[in-house]
Amino acid sequence: MDGHGSHFTLELLTYCRSIGLHVVLRPPHTTHILQGEDVVHFGVFKAKYHQNKMMLLAKKVFMGKRRLTVADLLLACRDPWEEAFSLGNCVKAWSEIGVSPFTQKVYWDLLEKKKKKEAIASKANINPENLTIEGMVKIMFNIDPAEVPEQPTVGGRSRKRDRDTLHSCDLWDLPGGATGEECMERVRRKTEARQQKEAAAASKKANTAQRRQAASSAANEQGSRVVSALVHTVQVSYLTRANLEAALQFKGIKWDKKELKPALVKLLQDALALPSDGPIPVLVIPDPPAPALAPAPVAVPAGDADGVEDESENLSEEDDDDLL
């Protein structure tokens, strides 16, 4: 398995351990030589898929269309996918990466490439070390990689290795592989931290939505009281900006938050169409009703309760005597 964190989740590793399957991560930055998909399968697939896609696109153009649909793309990749991952190509890929048969083919191939580079460099009177990344860095920046200070360590381990990361650079060589105890513990901590973060974000989002809903309801109620109190168009200009916005919201009128108060007054006046003649009465906006308080429960002692029951029994006996 390659080293992207999304490929070895806690659920996957737990399931693999439950069925006795060991997951081993490839060394980082080696998928192009150790992963059969990169070595064989995708090379076959991409060429065939591109050819089929261009042919389908040409048909679309002849029919007066310009775009391929999802169904077209699936049709274009069906045959290339089946060919790329056929049994023959799978066996070839496993052989190229030294899995089946289990060999050191990758190592010997890399060693042969290195010898070829050295031979070419010696013929051109070039130092073979200058063809490596370290050599290029030394030439371009005049820095010797050996002089670069080592990464600070804590307790004999690098700080990078101590953090809860899910990348193969930090996990691939752990004892037991990805399903080992140490890797499982790191994945578990990372998963729990992510879940806590997601839960906190969801809770914050829910609280924000609840506050906005409460504020919107309060604004609608205030807008209702403001609109019912207005009887003259001039009274609209007496309103505060908060009451203007509440009234506009109650009437379902949209406005720009950057608009000045005169513009809001004009919007509300046009929407209400109040009379503009006659005397202007004093504007009185009723206060919001006080929240209702639930009655406090009354505690009745057990003895009192028994006394009440006894009294009711005595009354019932007296009533029976009267009837007799």
Q: Are 37 and 178 in contact (CB under 8 A)?
A: no
CB burial class (10 A; 0-12, 13-18, 19+) of residue 95?
middle
Beta-sheet pairing, 153-154 with 157-158: antiparallel
Classify the C-alpha dihedral 43-46-52-54 as positive or negative: negative
157 φ, ψ (degrees, to nearest 5): -120, 150
Taking each helix axis as running N to C, give the angle between helix 42-62 and helix 70-84, from 0 to 180 degrees, rounded to the nearest 10.
150
Domain boundary assignment for the chain: 104-151
The number of helices, as runs of H, and strands, as runs of E, in the chain is 14, 2
CA distance 76 to 68: 10
pLDDT in tens, 15-59: 999 999 988 888 888 888 988 999 999 999 999 999 999 999 999
Those residues of the chain that have pLDDT short of 70 are: 1-6, 144-165, 291-324
CA distance 112 to 122: 15
Tokens of 47: 């060429």
Q: Are 106 and 54 in contact (CB under 8 A)?
A: no
Q: Are 1 and 27 in contact (CB under 8 A)?
A: no
pLDDT at 138: 78
Nearest alpha-carbon partner for 4 in 161, 185, 169: 169
pTM over 0.85: no
Q: What length does the chain have?
A: 324
CA distance 52 to 60: 12
253's CB contacts (< 8 A; 6+ apart) are: 267, 268, 271
Q: What 8-state DSSP symbol labels residue 154?
A: E
CA distance 283 to 239: 9
Count CB atoms within 10 A of the CB of residue 219: 18
Nearest alpha-carbon partner for 280 in 230, 242, 239: 230
Tokens of 23: 């997951």
Tokens of 162: 């101590």
Where is 284: in which H helix or E strand?
none
What 3-state class would DSSP assign to 136?
helix
- Amino acid code (one letter) for 276: S
Q: What 8-state DSSP symbol labels residue 41?
A: I
CA distance 73 to 76: 5
